[in-house]
């Protein structure tokens, strides 16, 4: 059993090593030689180690269904751990005077690259990146260098579509049954074609096309909105923001996220990438490649996302307007609600200064719900929220039906029989309960370890942001935060990316193995 685990994790490490080598291109372009050395060392070590281990266990049996969820959990954990290596190496080999050269002209703060001398901060950054969360220990983002900024964004982009999906697409010789089990274990896994390997490739094809389209859109939009913005910076920003927008990672190359542009028109420009990032990849596949234009309104998740964004944005704006604590309530309210609902995490407002009602509304109505299943988002997913409200109405309504009536329900353009509906409701209900329990426990820990400057609403917000892989922050996440709290958020981001259950399965395997037990 454990040999099967090691083999599959090793295949993911090979992919990760190659991912680490890509930022070396930007290190060369921007002449960041210490960063170049760090990426080459980390990438070569990780890929070579993964390759050697894979070859040793190459003849090991393929994973069975009882292995797949645990492999997903341990695989993502190892990605997070090894993904932290470049930050650690670069922070230790780069001289302080070179680090300070990364600080933008006119700024007098210390380079945030120094924060990555702390291995826990490196693990936090790697976890936040690959889980597409967006919380960061790089407090002043531009001061870490262009190549690390690109690595941070690129790792979010790769993590968004899924390492297991990529591994299946690359290691195409993986037998069908093993591929199916592993593919189904990843939260982003959704069947697009009959062959699982072709499905994995289709996912990456859609993902790349949408991302590239957003790069063109952002670059052109920025050029016309900010004509004096340097073209080289425009292109660099557009590349990275296209990746973090589509992956709903929300990390930005600017010091104050999208607010750094100081432009209402730029805020509007970035609404589209966030909305597209919150939609499902199967929807894009049907809409773009199968030319099913009516999916824009027929797809239940896409329709719900559009309606929720409009209504939620207006309601939050009214709350902020009533509180009279922000200068542009409509501009900030709409942007932050869409950012929270899609779990993108780009920020244009000081949420730490908001009133409790606005904070709790954005948590309950956006961050906990999240975007579309089959996408790169966190949260419980819109499809589960819709299923739960439909199930509640179904249970109440069937009380008034006769005993001879078949109590079926129409959901997502399909007729669902009572037994199937009950099963789906049980799954959605159990997941939602566990999800909220994670947020609750994290909130209690946050209250205990956070600074006295923050409120209960801030603690709930930060915990929900980490669990939902959102990345918006009330200010609690900071390099000076308590290490225990930092560790809790790392656990939440990991659980949020793979939807909790695989971690529980992994714990069960570690303590009891894979043999059936009577409970």
For residues 7 and 25, what is the distance between their CA atoms, to the nearest angstrom?
A: 30
Quote the pLDDT of residue 171. Answer: 56
The residue-averaged pLDDT of 120-138 equals: 94
In a domain, 361, yes or no: yes
Give the end of a domain, one of 118, 153, 186: 186
Which residue has better confidence, 32 or 170? Answer: 32
Yes or no: say if 110 and 230 are a contact pair by the CB < 8 Å rule: no
Least confident span in 185-189, 214-218, 319-323: 185-189
* Residues in a beta bridge with 411: 414
204 and 182, same domain (yes or no): no
In a domain, 112, yes or no: yes
Yes or no: say if 341 and 369 are a contact pair by the CB < 8 Å rule: yes
180 and 199, same domain (yes or no): no
Least confident span in 58-72, 205-219, 355-369, 477-491: 58-72
Report H helices in 342-481. 356-362, 382-397, 418-449, 456-467
How far CA 320 is from CA of 347, 353, 366, in Å, comes to 15, 11, 16
Give the end of a domain, one of 186, 215, 238: 186
303 and 333, same domain (yes or no): yes
Quote the pLDDT of residue 317. Answer: 97
Q: Can you tell me which residue has the tokens 């129409």?
A: 410
Q: Which two tokens stand for residue 264?
A: 């209402």
Give the end of a domain, one of 186, 217, 239: 186
Yes or no: say if 250 and 134 are a contact pair by the CB < 8 Å rule: yes
Q: Which two tokens stand for residue 298?
A: 């027929």
Yes or no: say if 374 and 381 are a contact pair by the CB < 8 Å rule: no
DSSP state of 346: -
| Vertex 443: Cα angle to 437 and 446 (nearest 5) | 145
Quote the pLDDT of residue 382. Answer: 93
How far CA 9 is from CA of 61, 82, 201, 492, in Å, comes to 14, 12, 20, 21
pLDDT band at 365, cuts 50/70/90? very high
For residues 96 and 136, what is the distance between their CA atoms, to the nearest angstrom?
A: 21
For residues 137 and 113, what is the distance between their CA atoms, to the nearest angstrom?
A: 9
149 and 64, same domain (yes or no): yes
Q: Is the pLDDT of residue 505 over 90?
A: no
Quote the pLDDT of residue 406. Answer: 61
145 and 278, same domain (yes or no): no
Yes or no: say if 145 and 138 are a contact pair by the CB < 8 Å rule: no
For residues 95 and 141, what is the distance between their CA atoms, to the nearest angstrom?
A: 18
75 and 45, same domain (yes or no): yes
177 and 226, same domain (yes or no): no
120 and 216, same domain (yes or no): no
pTM as predicted: 0.92
Quote the pLDDT of residue 187. Answer: 43
Which among 137, 162, 174, 172 has a CA at the least distance from the CA of 152?
137
The residue-averaged pLDDT of 318-327 equals: 93
43 and 67, same domain (yes or no): yes
In a domain, 212, yes or no: yes
The residue-averaged pLDDT of 457-479 equals: 94
In a domain, 515, yes or no: no
- The 10s digit of each residue's pLDDT in 265-306 is 999 999 999 999 999 988 998 898 888 898 888 889 999 999
Least confident span in 12-21, 167-176, 354-363, 485-494: 167-176
In a domain, 511, yes or no: no
Number of domains in the chain: 2
Which residue has better confidence, 68 or 321? Answer: 321
For residues 372 and 375, what is the distance between their CA atoms, to the nearest angstrom?
A: 6
Q: Is the pLDDT of residue 234 over 70?
A: yes
- The 10s digit of each residue's pLDDT in 425-458 is 998 999 999 999 999 999 999 999 999 999 999 9
The residue-averaged pLDDT of 228-241 equals: 96
In a domain, 517, yes or no: no
Q: Domain of 164?
A: 1-186
pLDDT band at 235, cuts 50/70/90? very high
- The 10s digit of each residue's pLDDT in 386-409 is 999 988 888 888 777 776 666 677
In a domain, 506, yes or no: no
For residues 134 and 152, what is the distance between their CA atoms, to the nearest angstrom?
A: 9
In a domain, 512, yes or no: no
- The 10s digit of each residue's pLDDT in 163-196 is 666 666 555 544 444 455 555 545 444 666 666 6
Quote the pLDDT of residue 515. Answer: 72
Quote the pLDDT of residue 162. Answer: 75
The residue-averaged pLDDT of 324-344 equals: 94
75 and 152, same domain (yes or no): yes
Q: Which helix (H) or strand (E) holds 7?
A: helix 2-21
216 and 121, same domain (yes or no): no
116 and 211, same domain (yes or no): no
Q: Can you tell me which residue has the tokens 């309601």?
A: 315
pLDDT band at 359, cuts 50/70/90? very high
Residues of the chain with pLDDT > 70, as a percent, come to: 90
For residues 152 and 236, what is the distance between their CA atoms, to the nearest angstrom?
A: 13
């Amino acid at each position: 059993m454990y040999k099967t685990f090691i083999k599959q994790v090793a295949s993911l490490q090979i992919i990760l090593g190659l991912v680490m080598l890509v930022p070396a291109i930007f290190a060369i372009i921007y002449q960041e030689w210490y960063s170049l050395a760090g990426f080459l060392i980390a990438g070569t070590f990780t890929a070579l180690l993964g390759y050697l281990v894979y070859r040793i266990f190459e003849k090991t049996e393929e994973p069975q269904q009882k292995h797949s969820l645990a492999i997903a959990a341990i695989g993502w954990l190892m990605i997070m751990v090894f993904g932290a290596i470049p930050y650690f190496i670069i922070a230790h080999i780069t001289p302080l005077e070179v680090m300070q050269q990364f600080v933008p002209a006119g700024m007098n703060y210390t380079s945030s690259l120094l924060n990555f001398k702390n291995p826990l901060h490196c693990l936090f950054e790697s976890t936040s990146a690959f889980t597409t969360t967006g919380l960061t220990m790089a407090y002043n983002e531009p001061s870490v260098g262009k190549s690390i900024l690109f690595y941070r964004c690129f790792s979010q982009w790769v993590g968004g579509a899924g390492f297991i999906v990529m591994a299946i697409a690359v290691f195409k010789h993986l037998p069908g049954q093993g591929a199916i089990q592993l593919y189904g274990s990843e939260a982003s896994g959704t069947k697009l074609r009959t062959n699982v390997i072709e499905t994995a490739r289709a996912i990456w094809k859609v993902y790349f096309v949408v991302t590239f389209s957003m790069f063109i859109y952002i670059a052109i939009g920025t050029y016309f909105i900010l004509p004096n913005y340097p073209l080289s910076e425009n292109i660099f920003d557009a590349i990275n923001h296209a990746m973090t927008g589509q992956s709903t990672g929300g990390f930005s190359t600017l010091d104050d996220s999208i607010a750094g542009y100081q432009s209402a028109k730029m805020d509007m420009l970035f609404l589209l990438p966030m909305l597209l990032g919150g939609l499902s990849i199967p929807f894009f596949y049907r809409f773009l490649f199968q030319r099913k234009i009516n999916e824009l309104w027929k797809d239940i998740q896409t329709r719900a996302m559009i309606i929720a964004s409009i209504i939620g944005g207006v309601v939050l704006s009214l709350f902020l307007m009533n509180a009279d604590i922000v200068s542009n309530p409509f501009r900030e309210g709409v942007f932050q609600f869409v950012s929270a609902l899609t779990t993108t995490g780009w920020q244009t407002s000081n949420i730490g200064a908001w009133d409790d009602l606005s904070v709790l509304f954005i948590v309950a109505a956006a961050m906990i719900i999240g975007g579309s299943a089959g996408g790169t988002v966190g949260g419980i997913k819109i499809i589960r929220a819709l299923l739960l409200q439909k199930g509640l109405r179904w249970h109440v309504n069937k009380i008034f039906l006769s005993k001879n009536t078949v109590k079926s329900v129409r959901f997502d353009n399909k007729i669902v029989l009572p037994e199937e509906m009950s099963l789906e409701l049980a799954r959605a209900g159990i997941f939602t309960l566990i999800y909220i329990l994670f947020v609750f426990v994290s909130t209690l820990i946050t209250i205990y370890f956070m600074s006295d400057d923050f409120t209960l609403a801030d603690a709930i917000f930060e915990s929900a942001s980490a669990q939902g892989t959102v990345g918006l922050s009330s200010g609690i996440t900071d390099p000076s935060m308590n290490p225990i709290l930092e560790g809790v958020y790392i656990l939440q981001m990991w659980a949020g990316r793979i939807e909790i259950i695989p971690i529980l399965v992994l714990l069960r395997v570690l303590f009891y193995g894979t043999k059936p037990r009577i409970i």
